Amino acid sequence: MPLLEDLPPLAGRRVLVRADLNVPLRTGSGGQREVADDFRIRAAVPTLRWLVDQGATVTVCSHLGRPKGVPDPATDLQPVRARLAELVPEVRLLDNLRWDPGEEAGDEAFVRRLVDGQDAYVNDAFGASHRAHASIVGPPRLLPAAAGRLLAKEVQVLGGLLAAPARPFVAVVGGAKVADKLGVLRSLLQVVDRLVVGGGMAFTFLAAKGIGVGASLVDPARLEECRVLLEEAGDRLVVPEDVVCLSPEGTLADGGPGSGRTMVASAVPEGWRGLDIGPATAARFAACLAEARTVFWNGPMGVFEDERFAAGTRAVAEAVAACPGHSVVGGGDSAAALDRLGLQDRVGFVSTGGGASLELLEHGDLPGLAALRQASNAPARR
Ligand code: 3PG
Ligand code: MG
């Protein structure tokens, strides 16, 4: 992959930087939209700083949310632009790329408009590099191109997990949708010593084992695949042995308080919903992590936004932080959970990409990385 040093001299040149500034926003006290978590914005700074210091004129572009090809005030990048200006005032940020249908369609005319007047392109948008969108795969066909500092670091760290992990290597995967994660679970089982599964997705595994799941989230179309994985992996695949359940009439806290009764059970009663791993499971997961020399964690263990179902995610976050080995956390909700618990500084590396980190671990490559390797200035092609 070409790096910043593989670009032609940049003094007085114009550089287009694709960053992933898709950050969570919130409504401030005055009713204005503001950045709720600037992790991805701060992560983009080293590359922007380097380019500015080289004397380049830098234009940054990003998507925000999923606006479906039309301008929409709810996905205006203005709050992000304001925060970015506090960190690096010398750069300009274009409007939300996804306001144009050409971005997600990978449209060639849109690519040409983006690169118009630019002399070089830098992809530092690790979190969006699993998308074969115009701004990710198009510019390297037309301009000298390079991976930014963040993208290069992400690939080095996540790729290192697959290449030569210190053992035992334990992966903890959670989150709601089992269908989205079966591919990465299969790939992880090729390299890890232990794969620990929690979160909503665990209930399809429990159902596949014939354990009562009540009204918990289950994907009936994936039961057979889960059953086969459990059989093939044997005791390398660890699933919950107890869960925290919510009574049938109960509701989840959503800003306000939730309602209903909770209990810990090894099988979920009829009509109840399992919404977090139980204390015995949390202890077992923590014990797996305590002996690991390499850890990868992606996805919450329960509905942690509701305090009644936050203990499992907190226990895993603390165990990941306490693990003396090399720890890597895949972005999104797990990074947010670490941040809320004040544990971000205690893990080895927090990826800025959720989906992207999983796809890189699953396939060993991403469309955005492949595009950079094809650039005319890539080391192997010169
Ligand atoms: C993310 O936040 O996962 C990335 O920015 C990619 O966004 P997307 O899932 O909407 O493509
Ligand atoms: Mg995503």
> How close is the Cα of 94 to the center of ligand 2, in Å?
21
Answer yes or no: is pLDDT of 271 > 70. Answer: yes
Residue 127 Cβ < 6 Å to ligand 1: yes
pLDDT digits (tens, 9 = 90+) for 158-174: 999 999 899 999 999 99
Percentage of the residues of the chain whose pLDDT score is greater than 70: 99
> How close is the Cα of 355 to the center of ligand 1, in Å?
7
Check residue 8 and report its DSSP letter: P
Cα(168)–Cα(220) distance, integer angstroms: 33
| 3-state secondary structure (DSSP) of residue 118 | coil
Ligand nearest to the CA of 68: 1
Cα(47)–Cα(316) distance, integer angstroms: 32
Amino acid 346: pLDDT = 87
In DSSP terms, which residues pair with 296 in a beta bridge?
171, 328
Fill in the amino acid letter for 205: F
Cα(139)–Cα(59) distance, integer angstroms: 13
Answer yes or no: is pLDDT of 382 > 70. Answer: no
Based on the residue annotation, tell me whether 55 is a catalytic residue of this protein: no
Ligand nearest to the CA of 23: 1
Whether 80 contacts 21, CB under 8 Å: yes
- The residue among 343 and 249 whose pLDDT is bigger is 249
> How close is the Cα of 354 to the center of ligand 2, in Å?
6
**Ranked by mean pLDDT, which of 28-37, 113-122, 305-314 comes out on top?**
113-122
Provide the pLDDT confidence category of residue 334 given band limits of 50, 70 and 90. Answer: confident
Distances in Å between the Cα of 293 and the Cα atoms of 155, 167, 317 are: 20, 5, 16
Whether 202 contacts 299, CB under 8 Å: no
Amino acid 345: pLDDT = 87
Answer yes or no: is pLDDT of 310 > 90. Answer: yes
Distances in Å between the Cα of 361 and the Cα atoms of 22, 270, 297 are: 21, 37, 12
Give the global pTM.
0.93
Answer yes or no: is pLDDT of 356 > 90. Answer: yes
Catalytic residue (choose from 40, 131, 153, 222) = 40
Q: Which residue has the tokens 């956390």?
A: 329
Provide the pLDDT confidence category of residue 381 given band limits of 50, 70 and 90. Answer: low
Residue 66 Cβ < 6 Å to ligand 1: yes
Q: Which residues contact 206 (CB under 8 A, 6 or more apart)?
A: 213, 216, 239, 240, 243, 274
Based on the residue annotation, tell me whether 42 is a catalytic residue of this protein: no
Provide the pLDDT confidence category of residue 186 given band limits of 50, 70 and 90. Answer: very high
pLDDT digits (tens, 9 = 90+) for 60-96: 999 999 999 999 999 999 999 999 999 999 999 999 9
- What's the token pair of residue 368? 């955005």
Cα(8)–Cα(117) distance, integer angstroms: 16
Average confidence score pLDDT of the chain? 96
Q: Which residues contact 368 (CB under 8 A, 6 or more apart)?
A: 123, 125, 126, 128, 129, 130, 131, 136, 137, 151
Answer yes or no: is pLDDT of 335 > 90. Answer: no
The CA angle 335-149-6, to the nearest 5 degrees, is: 155
Cα(355)–Cα(63) distance, integer angstroms: 15
Residue 20 Cβ < 6 Å to ligand 1: yes
Average pLDDT value for residue range 350-379:
95
DSSP string, 303-336: -TTSGGG-HHHHHHHHHHHH-SSEEEE-SHHHHH
